[in-house]
Chains A and B, each alone.
Chain A
Amino acid sequence: MSLDKEKIKHVAKLARISVDDAKVESLTKDLNSIFKFIEQLNELKTDKVEPLTSILNQSLRSRVDKINDGKIREKVLKNSPKENEEFFVVPKVVE
């Protein structure tokens, strides 16, 4: 399987990363060499193998459905790139 420039631009769109045309060329080369390496896995027959979904021999713990923090709006907003007292601010999305 080889990746062409169009496919890479599409994946970049999905990943929300803008890639300028000048960079697509080298990116295509790098990703193709990485995928060639990854595709060694196709040598293995794995039809009867169960996928590994957790390496811990325990299931995830559940906890009591109880609020144990909160009232930290100031802390939550402290690193927001655009200041506002109560909300995160983004560019206008509705006309």
Chain B
Amino acid sequence: MSDITTQNLKDIVDQVKSKKISSVELTQSYIKNIEKGKKLNAFVTTTFEQALTSAKQFDTKPNFEQLLPGIPLAVKDLFCTVNTKTTAGSNILNNFVPTYESTVTKNLWDNGAFLLGKLNCDEFAMGSSNETSFFGNVINPVGDQLVPGGSSGGSSSALAADFTPATIGTDTGGSIRQPASFTGTVGLKPTYGLCSRWGIVAFASSLDQAGPMTKTVSDCAIMLEAMAGFDEKDSTSIKKNKEHYSKNLKDNVKGLKIGIPKEYRVDNMPKEIDELWEKGKKILKDLGAQLIDISLPHTKYALPTYYIVAPAEASSNLARYDGVRYGYRSKKGKDLIEMYENTRSEGFGDEVKRRILIGTYVLSSGYYDAYYLKAQKVRQLIKKDFDDNFTKVDAILTPSTPSSAFKIGEKTNDPVSMYLNDIFTVPVNLAGLPAISVPAGLDKKGYPLGLQLIGKTLDEQKILNIAYAFEKNCGYKNNIKKWWV
């Protein structure tokens, strides 16, 4: 029998349902892979015993009607999991064991899945290469010295290395789509409010969204269907009927209007990315879609806006880490204030401190109007760019990233060059829209590249359908060799 772990989620679910494989056998196969793959450093915590117990329970009393029957899943270590340590990649939460479960993970477990482990990520999801994690760099299965993208870098690495059949990440400025693009996997950031934020360690609350990362588009539909839904406990959760993304997945794009924004080109962008974008356009056109040139004039201002809004919200969200109620507490300091200062100085890494300082500064007295208010105004203009164009088009096609995966250490000395990684993904978060990154090809080094489809608010089904049609006709094949085994 071929190795089950190399297959996609949908096929694995079918085999569990037809009793070709038990949940215990499936779980054991993943555990074996994870144990042989420690070099990639994708996991912060593994929960093998607990997973095998859940698998046994499933096999004794199976429910095959569920979306994820007896499926083991590893998730980003930003989702609180009851009785399992949740670190957010930070020293300050290195001892934090939640007494509650995030809504999104609970939804997955209610659909038949169970926890296999917690995946490494950039500290508090602040990073684009997984190099800011307290628990060390994660390696991209594509190549020994390559970053897996970030912040959901443990998720993308574990998925591409066959350590989990699917996974979930969070995306504040590109943290699902960029790592998906770097590892040749599919990643979707849903409309703001579609998936509950309750129980997810907060970074920038007006931008954070959880979403699926999978090997195929149909897997992505299954995972999104399982995790999405209204939640009373999240005040920005959208109340709407449950959608059946996987059942309604269709590869017909005939007559759809696809916008091609002229601003999604940057200086020094490798020629291959332009070529890939052309290839994507041609595939959709040949399938009967209509390409329409559009303009999103404020695109270049999205990143500067993001680097005001996100740090401002982060500085306020991260004020809770004071060493008093949970998390790390410094032993140094003669009074309460010094205890706070030392706790935060020892508990946070450099990138997190940088962003807290930016955020504190832009919100401080006398600077608020010049920075934060200005950014909120530009955010309005960025959203309006999309609103104006979505009266004319059904979806927008762009590259996912301005480059393929880069080497560990290549960009760590220059924060701005690191931030530029998210230039094509950030506008979507600012506008609260859904977007999916689909693998589209390899560059001349053999590294994966993705294309991004951006949809209207709550139009996840349409971008999934377009991505599905694209995937079928693109013929993408990754060339990951398991060199780490």
Contact = CB atoms under 8 A, between A and B. Distances in A.
Interface of A: 3, 8, 11-12, 14-19, 27, 30-31, 33-35, 37-42, 44, 46, 49-58, 60-61, 63, 72, 75-76, 78-82, 88, 90-93
Given A17-B353, A46-B374, A51 B380 contact: yes
Interface of B: 95-97, 99-100, 192-193, 206, 232, 235-236, 238-239, 298, 300-301, 303-305, 307-308, 315, 319, 322-329, 333-342, 344-345, 348, 353-354, 356-358, 360-361, 364, 371, 373-381, 383, 414-416, 419, 430-432, 457
Contact of B380 (A40, A50, A79): A50
Contacts of B374: 41-42, 46
A16 B416 contact: no
A37 B304 contact: yes
Contact of B99 (A8, A11, A56, A78): A78
A27 B352 CA distance: 12
A37 B302 CA distance: 11
Contacts of B341: 16-18
Contacts of B96: 79
Contacts of B325: 76, 79-80, 88
Interface residues of B, dominant DSSP: helix
Given A16-B337, A19-B345, A79-B97, A38 B304 contact: yes
Contacts, number: 156
Given A56-B432, A78-B99, A80-B326, A49 B308 contact: no
A52 B304 contact: no
B374 to A, nearest CB: 6
Most chain A CB neighbours (cut-off 10 Å) among B354, B357, B416:
B357
Nearest to B95: A79
Contact of B415 (A12, A18, A30, A46): A30
B329 A81 contact: yes
Main secondary structure on A side of the interface with B: loop
Nearest to B373: A51
A84 B136 CA distance: 34
Given A79-B95, A79-B325, A34 B235 contact: no
A56 B238 contact: yes
A62 to B, nearest CB: 9
A56 B237 CA distance: 9
A15 B345 contact: no
B324 A49 contact: no
Nearest to B352: A17
A12 B357 contact: yes
A41 B380 contact: no
Contacts of B360: 11, 14-15
Contacts of A91: 333-336, 339
A55 B324 contact: no
26 contacts: A11-B357, A14-B364, A16-B337, A16-B340, A16-B341, A17-B345, A17-B353, A18-B341, A18-B342, A30-B415, A31-B358, A33-B414, A34-B358, A40-B304, A44-B378, A49-B377, A49-B380, A51-B379, A55-B206, A55-B383, A56-B192, A81-B328, A82-B329, A90-B324, A90-B339, A91-B339
